[in-house]
Structure 1
């Protein structure tokens, strides 16, 4: 079975979207499935009632069913409105041929007005089809028709009918208490052996109840296909439907019995914003710091570093500050390793922390006497950058921390790669350029970029914004860091 249940609805239409196939497809999607639909009847209706019904030729119905099952593996079937005996027989024959694993039948037999929708022959054909289902979801009047008994007057009578129908047909019944009076709204799952699992519920004061039967049965079919547990599927579907009913009025659809809001919970908790891909994040963030990157390129320190005319005093002062920076930067990398959610990411950030101390510090020490480094104090710029990183690290938010760490990879690799072609064998600062333009650092940078971009792509909107701002803040600190030697030494 696919991880996403593929659920086929066989039912009539509702042009206002609140019931029938339109409601089924929304319910299937809202409960985590992929919905498909075969139309049994075209219904001219709105929230105030049915105006007319057109039943297409049953040959076309059969062609629809065969077209779907010839191409798609169907994990569950939900059956709704079947207009007459001929339609019921075509669907029954198709079920017998295809033998889908799960069949949920919502036996549409009685209109909201109380009028019976099927003649006696069609009712008998529907009883025979019902024995082919795994679960029936009748309302109280429909349960009475299946039982061939008077309508149950209270919950005890309804449960009794459900037990008798379940035993006779060998199927599960979801008995629904919606037609009973009172504030309580009980439902019960009754199996063929008479076992009963009840679900409590409260009546919601609303007129947005159009299509609730269609929606509930489709939800259960979808959730059972995913879990294989009728009790869990029913309970979760009821909670989902209750939430959808509560939000139905906000849709402001129709002047009669309006629809439920099938996606209310998803809209409220997940929103409708699209989630970026890692590639989207990379492109967006690089563009977001374009102004900072361009300003770095124009700095006297960077331009002189590239052409080899940089004063050595300025370069040594820069390296001294960078050595102080790397000492605490490596600590922030180690904290990222500690917070990382996967072993691969833990190993990457730990290796980066080691590299910051071992490889890059070795480069610095080739220029700076050991005693000179011990006498160096961080500048205000260096302290500001480190305070930003260490404060971010202390908050313990892995995603934001790695976003803040990224510019030290990305900007150095970018600057080093672009300046390196300007150098030559006798270039005074060739070893520095070699370090940040070599393949190993490029690979580490690419890995860091992808780890951060993937984390941002999977983060919620609020975290993604915080990551982006932490990234820009660090990039701004990098600009100040490159500018500092010229500003300090003139």
Structure 2
């Protein structure tokens, strides 16, 4: 399952679609995100140049920003051209209020002609805004303005300038070597972990309009999917090189035309490897366990209706015990969650475990169900309680009970038929509402993993793997006579 990051672009327009907001939205969509846009300026331009610019009142800019953030949870923000001190101040104030998790700033300051686009006061304000960004993506001319030094003519000089900008702002810098002479076209991430260079080859085309906009919005999207900055650059550079390579075929305009943002879709190559999300890593790593779940006699009997009723009732009785503890841990996740939205999600999930799912159990079991926990049930709940050392670890431990059941429920929908003895179970876990909840849980887990340090991320990975194994044991238990002693020990 792939999380879809919600990425907001704050920039001006390009009615021919090659740069600005239009390029940002194309880039975000091409790389798997959901794009949103707030307009700083309405620009009458085409591939030959700019004709006129209309800048709406600053109050309207603020109204746009607040309208988005009041309603939508934003995963990343890309900022493009800001025309004045007042506009920069408004954006900075909004960033201070909303604190989006990822901010990428493309400091548009120098025109293609080499002319300065901002006055001195606006340049100083933009340098201050750099301190609010996680990543800055200047070209070499803009890097020179931001550092107050002559423009770099060599790659080592450019790296030195990028390091200077990183030290003065605290932000990571995407250093772009496209304006250097020669056939090579290197880029680099310059930040607290040093310099990470990505080699590249210059593409022979004049259709390069909007490359800076497109690269910065691509970086915001990929970072929001869980990639590190170096991973994001490697993927974005691969995509951008292809977009430049296929740009001439678009035949848009008579000047410097746009790049082909959707070349991968058009040529069926979008499935190339991307920076991996934590959720995809752990789901793929659990492939053997998932295969064992599919192959176990309980699941096969559940699918075709041949599962003995006694075994199903044993499973439901233990699941009822499990869900009582699971709901308590969902409530615990709610208290640990860093945002109100996540707190509400886990609280709703806790209520669902107690009300909606237990209703299914009572319909099959009645009031006289055995409520003594089996060893497998105790082992699983002990593991969950031991995973409360941090929010990320707990979320990772809770996730398989969402994801594995959604996966099974969706794939077993074809087994449903009139008179199927377990149709209500198949219907519950194949319900689109449950799938939506699972998608949200996966997204939250990915966000927690993205923010976690190496040690906590490793604990999250281990907690998820252990829960997956406990799920398998839980399915196997009703048909095990006797249960194997090695499978009865709690795994903590």
Q: What TM bracket, shorter-length normalisation?
A: 0.5 to 0.7
The CA distance in 2 between the partners of 1:350 and 1:131, in whole Å, is: 60
Structure 1: which 5+ residue stretches go unaligned? 272-337, 353-405, 414-437, 451-490
Contact 1:137 1:175 in 2 (8 A): yes
* Structure 1 residue aligned with 2:91: 91
* Structure 1 residue aligned with 2:35: 35
| Superposition deviation, residue 267 in structure 1 | 2.2
Contact 1:340 1:346 in 2 (8 A): no
| Superposition deviation, residue 241 in structure 1 | 1.0
* Structure 2 residue aligned with 1:140: 140
* Structure 2 residue aligned with 1:265: 264
The CA distance in 2 between the partners of 1:440 and 1:195, in whole Å, is: 61
**Closer, same or farther in 2 for the Cα pair 1:194/1:37, shift >3 Å?**
same
- 1:210 matched to 2:173? The reply is no
**Closer, same or farther in 2 for the Cα pair 1:347/1:254, shift >3 Å?**
farther
SS of 2:206's partner is: coil
- 1:74 matched to 2:46? The reply is no
Contact 2:305 2:420 in 1 (8 A): no
Structure 2: which 5+ residue stretches go unaligned? 271-290, 307-413, 431-492
* Structure 2 residue aligned with 1:105: 105
* Structure 2 residue aligned with 1:22: 22
Contact 2:144 2:150 in 1 (8 A): yes
The CA distance in 2 between the partners of 1:349 and 1:96, in whole Å, is: 52
The CA distance in 1 between the partners of 2:295 and 2:44, in whole Å, is: 55
* Structure 2 residue aligned with 1:244: 243
The CA distance in 2 between the partners of 1:115 and 1:108, in whole Å, is: 11
TM-score by length of 2: 0.56
Which has the larger Rg? 1
CA offsets 1:133-177 (integer angstroms, 9 cap, x no match): 000000000000000111111111111000001011111001100
| Superposition deviation, residue 3 in structure 1 | 2.0
CA offsets 1:363-406 (integer angstroms, 9 cap, x no match): xxxxxxxxxxxxxxxxxxxxxxxxxxxxxxxxxxxxxxxxxxx9
Contact 1:167 1:194 in 2 (8 A): no
CA offsets 1:391-442 (integer angstroms, 9 cap, x no match): xxxxxxxxxxxxxxx9xx9xxx9xxxxxxxxxxxxxxxxxxxxxxxx9579x
The CA distance in 1 between the partners of 2:29 and 2:124, in whole Å, is: 33
SS of 1:39's partner is: strand
**Closer, same or farther in 2 for the Cα pair 1:349/1:94, shift >3 Å?**
closer
- 1:227 matched to 2:226? The reply is yes
* Structure 2 residue aligned with 1:48: 48
The CA distance in 1 between the partners of 2:122 and 2:194, in whole Å, is: 30
The 5-angstrom pairing of residues 260-299 of structure 1 reads 260-269=259-268
SS of 1:179's partner is: coil
The CA distance in 2 between the partners of 1:136 and 1:22, in whole Å, is: 20
Contact 1:163 1:194 in 2 (8 A): no
Alpha-carbon RMSD across the aligned residues, in angstroms, is 3.2
* Structure 2 residue aligned with 1:255: 254
The CA distance in 1 between the partners of 2:259 and 2:66, in whole Å, is: 32
**Closer, same or farther in 2 for the Cα pair 1:159/1:270, shift >3 Å?**
closer
- 1:176 matched to 2:176? The reply is yes
**Closer, same or farther in 2 for the Cα pair 1:126/1:267, shift >3 Å?**
same
SS of 1:41's partner is: strand
**Closer, same or farther in 2 for the Cα pair 1:342/1:116, shift >3 Å?**
farther
* Structure 2 residue aligned with 1:161: 161
**Closer, same or farther in 2 for the Cα pair 1:46/1:340, shift >3 Å?**
farther
| Superposition deviation, residue 52 in structure 1 | 1.5
**Closer, same or farther in 2 for the Cα pair 1:13/1:342, shift >3 Å?**
farther
- 1:127 matched to 2:127? The reply is yes
Contact 1:130 1:169 in 2 (8 A): yes
Q: Which runs of 4+ in 1 moved over 4 A?
A: 338-352, 438-441
| Superposition deviation, residue 244 in structure 1 | 1.3
The CA distance in 1 between the partners of 2:163 and 2:5, in whole Å, is: 29
**Closer, same or farther in 2 for the Cα pair 1:205/1:61, shift >3 Å?**
same
Contact 1:21 1:39 in 2 (8 A): yes
Contact 2:47 2:256 in 1 (8 A): yes
The CA distance in 2 between the partners of 1:345 and 1:54, in whole Å, is: 63
SS of 2:174's partner is: strand
| Superposition deviation, residue 351 in structure 1 | 8.6
Corresponding pairs, count: 301
**Closer, same or farther in 2 for the Cα pair 1:45/1:440, shift >3 Å?**
closer
The CA distance in 2 between the partners of 1:204 and 1:151, in whole Å, is: 23
